[in-house]
Amino acid sequence: MTSTDQTQSLPFIEKKQFTTRNFKTFGGKTIKRVDVGWESYGNLNKNKDNVILITHYFTGNSHAAGKYTESDLEVGYWDSIIGPNKAIDTNLFFVISVDSLVNVSAFDKDVITTGPATINPDTGKPYGLDFPIVTIRDFVNVQKLVLESLGISKLHAVAGPSMGSMQAIEWASTYPDWVDRLISVIGSGSADAWTTAALEQWVVPITLDANYRDGDYYQFAKEEWPRAGLTHALALITQSALHPAFFNQIGKQIDFKVLDENILQDIKAKPSIVNWLYERASARADLIDANHLIYLVRANQLFITGMQGSLEEGLANIKAKVLLIPASDDLLLMPYHAEKLANYFQDKDHAVQLRYLESNKENSRGHLEGVAGIAEHNETINAFLTK
């Protein structure tokens, strides 16, 4: 690790496209054509053995670090740990990330994905609910095809937050000879009853929106798509991924008042903090597809390491060294998920480290500490990758 003044920037990032034909899903269906985007940081070495795969979270995509152009307002989500001389050092490693199937951001120009909003080659119309259900295993299999297309057959490490951790764990379980190191951040080895029901809360409001029309809305003008339901789902996702500490800081910033004369007199008026949350959700809704969100929820609900009967069977296949980084204030995938994995590996004398994200108590972002606050474990991550 070097100090920040030595840190250089990544060169501008280019999103690339990968295409495969007749992709077989875990559920036994065939998708005639799959397109996904991918991007990379650093250089692949001659032996092609310096590869770190980054797997993204639910509302994320393969833009894990850097900027596309000078004018970008934001950098990739893990830019604090990916780059020259950073924890995941692009002077040493070829870091690569792939857009998921059924990525929520179907209409983001910087995302390439295949899902219900994609044109079905058999009909010339969007698949809608005819798109087959896909799973975390399928995301892993698409990533494997991307890597193989580059001549890669080994991962120095795979790392990801939240849904990204599920992909990372699935990689290590299903292709154990590929994966030397596994970093699971704010993650889980399996959906449980609680998480499955919590995820469903994101789906139901969309299906309540009369404009959802059982998923068959693409034929209508975009103004008639289920935007209200989608906006509500996004507001709920944002709140679930945060923590009261952070939310109440926002309240101070916007001068939130409990006893607000507007909401005392008008049942349809909304508290200022609600307007703040829903304005942000609504702004995001333009780029997001409702069906994609519903399919991505299902992929998460179906996740169990190894995609077999039990978590233990799936974990037993893993050969990689393991680093688990839960966020102590996480309300979405609480630390018990990581602790369950830590206990399993400790019992088997399998190399495992458990480190909590917890330095940011006053202003904790809860689950999102695994994205916005990951640099807290810069040194642990760097040591895990280089020692």
Identify the active-site residue in 89, 99, 108, 330: 330
Q: Does 304 bind its own copies (CB under 8 A)?
A: yes
Q: How far apart are CA 351 and CA 23, in angstroms?
A: 35
- Placement of tokens 């702004």 in the chain: 283
Judged by CB, which is closer to its own copies: 302, or 372?
302
What's the distance, CA 288 to chain centroid?
14
Q: Does 1 bind its own copies (CB under 8 A)?
A: no
Cross-strand partners of 317 = none
Residue span 235-254 as binding mask against its own copies, x where in contact by CB under 8 A, dash where not: xx--x---xx--xx-xx---
Query: Measured from the CB of residue 139, what is the shortest distance to its own copies in angstroms?
Result: 15
Q: What's the token pair of residue 47?
A: 């032996």
DSSP character for 38? E
Residue span 318-337 as binding mask against its own copies, x where in contact by CB under 8 A, dash where not: -------------x--x-x-
Where does this chain touch its own copies (CB under 8 A) — which range of 66-74, 78-86, 256-264, 353-361? Answer: 256-264
Judged by CB, which is closer to its own copies: 66, or 187?
187
Report the relative pairing of strands 16-24 and 30-41 from DSSP bridges: antiparallel
- By CB under 8 A, the count of residues binding its own copies is 62
Q: How far apart are CA 369 and CA 67, in angstroms?
A: 21
- Which ranges of 38-162 does DSSP label H, i.e. alpha helix? 136-149
Q: Does 263 bind its own copies (CB under 8 A)?
A: yes
Query: Measured from the CB of residue 358, what is the shortest distance to its own copies in angstroms?
Result: 16
What's the distance, CA 134 to chain centroid?
15
Q: What's the token pair of residue 105?
A: 């951001």
Judged by CB, which is closer to its own copies: 229, or 373?
229
Q: Does 283 bind its own copies (CB under 8 A)?
A: no
Q: Does 271 bind its own copies (CB under 8 A)?
A: yes
Q: Does 33 bind its own copies (CB under 8 A)?
A: no
Indicate which single residue of 148, 200, 286, 379 sits in contact with its own copies (rule: CB under 8 A).
Answer: 200
Q: How far apart are CA 218 and CA 228, in angstroms?
A: 16
Side-chain half-sphere of 162: how many Cα atoms within 13 Å? 27
Closest to 96 (Cα-Cα) out of 35, 134, 142, 162: 142
Report the relative pairing of strands 30-41 and 51-54 from DSSP bridges: unpaired
Indicate which single residue of 3, 69, 70, 210 sits in contact with its own copies (rule: CB under 8 A).
Answer: 210
Indicate which single residue of 76, 164, 205, 373 sits in contact with its own copies (rule: CB under 8 A).
Answer: 205
Q: Does 255 bind its own copies (CB under 8 A)?
A: no
Q: Exposure of 36 by Cβ count < 10 A (0-12 exposed, 13-18 middle, 19+ buried)?
A: buried
The SS3 call for residue 190 is: strand
Q: Give whole-number Cα distances, 332 to 140, 162, 305, in Å.
A: 23, 9, 18
Name residues contacting its own copies, limited to 148-167 (CB under 8 A): none
Indicate which single residue of 159, 169, 182, 307 sits in contact with its own copies (rule: CB under 8 A).
Answer: 307
Q: What's the token pair of residue 179?
A: 């994966």
Query: Measured from the CB of residue 194, what is the shortest distance to its own copies in angstroms?
Result: 4
Judged by CB, which is closer to its own copies: 172, or 235?
235
Residue 214 appears among annotated catalytic residues: no
Report the relative pairing of strands 88-89 and 157-161 from DSSP bridges: unpaired
User: Could you count the other beta carbons within 10 Å of the beta carbon of residue 167?
Assistant: 29
8 A C-beta contact, residue 371 and residue 332: no
Query: Measured from the CB of residue 210, what is the shortest distance to its own copies in angstroms?
Result: 4
Where does this chain touch its own copies (CB under 8 A) — which range of 6-14, 54-62, 86-94, 299-307? Answer: 299-307
8 A C-beta contact, residue 78 and residue 54: yes
Residue span 178-197 as binding mask against its own copies, x where in contact by CB under 8 A, dash where not: ------------xxxxxxxx
Judged by CB, which is closer to its own copies: 73, or 210?
210
Residues lying near its own copies in the complex (CB under 8 A) are found at 26-27, 129, 133, 135, 190-198, 200-201, 204-205, 208-210, 215, 228-229, 232, 235-236, 239, 243-244, 247-248, 250-251, 256, 258-260, 263-268, 270-271, 273-274, 277, 294-295, 298, 301-304, 307-309, 331, 334, 336
Active site residues: 330
